[in-house]
């Protein structure tokens, strides 16, 4: 399964081409961000409450 949803905007994305997937620094759950939200510098909030740029 390579289809994921961006944590900031909820869009379906595929990892690669500017889209990223990384573990939360706090709880290690997977965070997915799309290219657009990264460009716009949108904040994300993890399910554990951690938020980052």
Give residues in contact with Zn ion (CB under 5 A): 6, 8-9, 24, 26-27, 34, 37, 46, 48, 50
Q: Shortest gap between Cβ of 1 and Zn ion (angstroms)?
A: 18
Q: CA-CA distance, 11 to 25, in Å (whole number)?
A: 22
Q: Shortest gap between Cβ of 18 and Zn ion (angstroms)?
A: 11
Using DSSP's 3-state secondary structure scheme, residue 52 falls into strand
- Select 4 or 34, whichever has its Cβ closest to Zn ion: 34
Q: Shortest gap between Cβ of 15 and Zn ion (angstroms)?
A: 13
């Amino acid at each position: 399964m390579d289809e994921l949803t961006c944590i900031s905007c909820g869009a379906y994305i595929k990892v690669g081409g500017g889209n990223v997937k990384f573990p939360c620094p706090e709880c290690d759950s997977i965070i997915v961000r799309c290219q657009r939200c990264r460009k716009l510098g949108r904040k994300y909030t993890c399910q554990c409450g951690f938020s980052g740029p």
